[in-house]
Amino acid sequence: MGGISFDQGAKGLAELGNKYKDNEAIGGLVAGSFADGFRTQMNMGTALSYNTAMSSHMSGLQQGMENLRTGNTMKLMGAEGRIAKDLIGAQGAQQRLGIQETGSQQRMNIGAQGAQQRLGIQETGSQQRMNIGAQGTQDRLNLGVKGSEDRKSIRTAGGEERLNIGKRYQEERNMRSDARGAIRSLGARFFG
């Protein structure tokens, strides 16, 4: 795109210069414009060369820094690995001593706990047998009382229901009688 614009501008200037070749002012303008264009191209080439050289130099510096950082990291990792190995060895010996002591203590605790649990199970079994007997007696008494109460409630509910049925029947008869009287009264008033 830039090259096309440059070519079109140069062609237009050349045509202008050729058309007015006897005009000194236009000749100077065309020659000055070409000189400016050539100088701009020279400056761009110089700037591009400078930027390329600086980018290459900066890239080299960056690569050197990365290599230095990687080397330092590897040295630190090696030192950390040796320290961790020494610590793990010492920690393992300490853990073995702790495991031995814990095992002895646990064996003594398990023996004492087993004896205590056997005593507790015996006592619990005796207590549960006594509770089951007392509960059975209480359940039988409660069932007898509940059966008697249920029978009384059923008799009372039946009597109430019979009274309610009679009362509802009487109310329905009264409502029908009232409705017939109202219809007769309306009919007499309507038919006059």
For the chain, the C-alpha Rg in angstroms (whole number) is 59
Which of these, 8, 40, 14, 38, lies nearest to 26 by C-alpha position?
14
Q: Which residue has the tokens 């070409």?
A: 34
Q: List pLDDT tens digits, range 37-77.
A: 989 989 999 999 999 999 998 999 999 889 888 888 888 88
What is the domain partition of the chain in residue ranges?
Answer: 1-41
Residue 17 scores a pLDDT above 80 = yes
Residue 92 scores a pLDDT above 90 = no
DSSP SS3 for 23? coil
Question: How confident is the model at residue 39, as a pLDDT?
Answer: 93
Question: How confident is the model at residue 95, as a pLDDT?
Answer: 86
Q: What's this model's pTM, rounded to 2 decimal places?
A: 0.34
Q: List pLDDT tens digits, range 95-144.
A: 888 888 887 888 888 877 877 888 878 888 778 877 887 787 787 778 77
**Residue 22 vs residue 112, higher pLDDT:** 22
